[in-house]
C-alpha cells in the first residue's frame, strides 16, 4: 500500500493505492487545505488523512511507507527537503496581498512526511502529471516531451532525453510565469505583470472578462465573431509559449490538459497547433500537440505516478 497526496491551494486530496492494482485509487478523501496553525499544518493534515484512509480500509497505517505528493509551486529547499512557498497557501510571503489567516513564509512538507514515511517524493503538480502521462497517457515512449495544463493557472512539466527536468529547487517548468507578450494590463498571482498565466489562466480570464471563461468559449463555439477574436488572441499567446519550450528543448510531443483546454479542445487545439507551427518549421515540424491521454484524470494520477 502506498499513499497519494494532491495538495492544492484550496483542497487536499488523499488516496491509497494497492501496488498490485495500478490506477485504482482507494479511500479517496478531500478536505479544504489547512490555512491556520503552525507552518507544518498542511503536512500534519496530510498525515492525518492518510491515517483516516487506512482506518477506512482497515489497514494498519504502519504498512503505508511510500508516499507521492503533487503540490503547487514554487518550492524552496531547506536542507534537502522541499517546502512550499505557494502564494495561496502561505500568507506571510512578501507582497502576497492575500487575506490568509497565517503568517507562513513557507509550509514544510517533505521533512514532516519523512518523519512518518520511509519513501517520500514531492514534485510540482504539473511534473507529477507529466510522469502520469509518461507512464499511462499520451507521452508513453516519448523521450522529449512536455505536459502543459491550462487551468485556473498554467503549469508545465518537461522531459528531455527521457529525463524529467527538476531544476535547482524542483521548480523547472514554471511556464505560467514566463513572459510571451508585452501586454502589461494584467497582474498574475505571483506579482508579475503580463506573464502567461496573467493573460490566459482561467482565474485571470474571469477577472479580465467579467464573466466565467466558459461563457466566452460557449459564444465562440456558436460562431460569435468577438468571442472568436478573443480565443484567437488567447491561443496566440499560449501557442507562443508552446513554441518557446519546443524551440528551447527540441520537443517531439506536448500533451495538453487542464479544464480550460479539455473543455474547449475543439476550439483551442487547431489554433494552438497553427501558432506553434507558424514559426521555424525546421524545429516545429517534428513536434505534435495532443490532448492528455488521461484526460481529466491526469491530475488524479500524478501523485500515484510519483510512487509508481
Ligand atoms: Zn505569474
pLDDT tens track for 22-77: 899 999 999 999 999 999 999 999 999 999 999 999 999 999 999 999 999 999 99
Distance 34 CA to ligand 1 centre (A): 23
Distance 197 CA to ligand 1 centre (A): 6
The mean pLDDT of 157-166, rounded to a whole number, is 98
pLDDT of residue 98: 65
Distance 18 CA to ligand 1 centre (A): 37
Distance 26 CA to ligand 1 centre (A): 35
Q: Would you state the cell numbers that stand for residue 283, as one nine-digit string?
A: 524545429
Distance 174 CA to ligand 1 centre (A): 9
Distance 199 CA to ligand 1 centre (A): 9
Distance 285 CA to ligand 1 centre (A): 29
By CB neighbour count within 10 A (0-12 exposed, 13-18 middle, 19+ buried), where does 76 fall? middle
Residue 57's contacts (CB-CB under 8 Å, 6 or more residues apart) are 16, 26, 27
The percent of residues above 90 in pLDDT, for the chain, comes to 89
- Measured CA to CA, the distance from residue 145 to residue 286 in angstroms comes to 12
Q: Where are the alpha helices (H) located in 58-200, listed in sequence order?
A: 110-116, 125-136, 196-200
Distance 195 CA to ligand 1 centre (A): 6
Distance 175 CA to ligand 1 centre (A): 9
- Please choose, from the candidates 161, 150, 105, 130, the residue with its C-alpha nearest in 3D space to the C-alpha of residue 242: 150
Q: Assign domain 2-123 to its CATH superfamily.
A: ATPase, nucleotide binding domain (3.30.420.40)
Distance 203 CA to ligand 1 centre (A): 12
**Residue 69 main-chain phi, psi, to 5 deg:** -125, 120
Distance 24 CA to ligand 1 centre (A): 34
pLDDT of residue 190: 85
- Measured CA to CA, the distance from residue 213 to residue 196 in angstroms comes to 16
- Measured CA to CA, the distance from residue 281 to residue 262 in angstroms comes to 26
**What mean pLDDT value characterizes the chain?**
95
pLDDT of residue 189: 83
β-pair type (253-257, 154-160): unpaired
Distance 106 CA to ligand 1 centre (A): 18
- Measured CA to CA, the distance from residue 154 to residue 244 in angstroms comes to 15
Distance 187 CA to ligand 1 centre (A): 8
Distance 154 CA to ligand 1 centre (A): 9
Place of cell 502567461: 196
CATH 3.30.420.40 residue window(s) in the chain: 2-123, 138-292
Long-range contacts for 73-78 (Cβ within 8 Å, ≥24 apart)? 73/124, 73/170, 73/171, 73/174, 74/169, 74/171, 74/174, 75/122, 75/124, 75/169, 75/170, 75/171, 76/106, 76/169, 77/168, 77/169, 77/170, 78/106, 78/108, 78/111
- Measured CA to CA, the distance from residue 256 to residue 26 in angstroms comes to 26
Pick the CATH number of 138-292 from 3.40.640.10, 1.10.357.10, 3.20.20.70, 3.30.420.40: 3.30.420.40
How do residues 197-217 score in pLDDT, each as one tens digit? Answer: 999 999 899 888 888 999 999
3-state secondary structure of 126: helix
Amino acid at each position: 500500500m502506498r499513499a497519494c497526496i494532491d495538495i492544492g491551494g484550496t483542497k487536499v486530496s488523499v488516496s491509497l493505492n494497492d501496488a498490485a492494482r495500478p490506477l485504482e485509487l482507494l479511500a479517496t478523501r478531500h478536505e479544504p487545505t489547512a490555512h491556520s496553525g503552525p507552518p507544518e499544518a498542511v503536512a500534519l493534515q496530510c498525515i492525518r488523512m492518510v491515517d483516516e484512509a487506512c482506518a477506512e480500509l482497515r489497514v494498519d497505517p504502519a504498512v503505508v511507507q511510500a508516499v507521492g505528493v503533487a503540490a503547487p509551486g514554487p518550492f524552496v529547499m531547506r536542507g534537502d527537503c522541499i517546502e512550499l512557498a505557494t502564494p495561496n497557501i502561505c500568507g506571510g510571503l512578501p507582497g502576497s496581498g492575500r487575506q490568509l489567516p497565517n503568517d507562513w513564509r513557507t509550509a514544510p512538507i517533505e521533512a514532516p512526511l519523512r518523519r512518518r514515511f520511509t519513501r517520500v517524493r514531492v514534485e510540482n503538480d504539473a511534473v507529477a502529471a507529466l510522469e502520469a502521462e509518461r507512464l499511462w497517457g499520451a507521452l508513453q515512449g516519448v523521450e522529449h516531451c512536455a505536459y502543459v495544463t491550462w487551468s485556473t493557472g498554467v503549469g508545465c512539466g518537461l522531459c528531455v532525453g527521457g529525463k524529467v527536468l527538476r531544476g535547482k529547487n524542483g521548480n523547472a517548468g514554471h511556464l505560467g510565469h514566463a513572459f510571451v507578450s508585452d501586454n502589461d494590463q494584467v497582474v498574475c498571482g505571483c506579482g508579475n505583470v503580463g506573464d502567461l498565466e496573467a493573460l490566459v489562466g482561467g482565474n485571470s480570464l474571469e477577472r479580465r472578462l467579467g464573466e466565467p471563461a466558459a461563457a466566452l468559449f460557449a459564444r465562440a463555439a456558436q460562431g460569435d465573431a468577438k468571442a472568436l477574436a478573443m480565443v484567437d488572441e488567447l491561443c496566440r499567446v499560449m501557442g507562443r509559449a508552446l513554441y518557446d519550450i519546443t524551440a528551447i528543448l527540441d520537443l517531439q510531443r506536448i500533451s495538453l490538459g487542464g479544464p480550460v483546454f479539455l473543455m474547449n479542445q475543439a476550439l483551442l487545439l487547431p489554433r494552438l497547433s497553427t501558432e506553434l507551427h507558424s514559426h521555424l518549421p525546421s524545429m516545429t515540424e517534428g513536434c505534435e500537440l495532443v490532448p492528455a491521454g488521461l484526460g481529466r484524470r491526469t491530475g488524479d494520477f500524478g501523485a500515484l505516478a510519483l510512487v509508481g
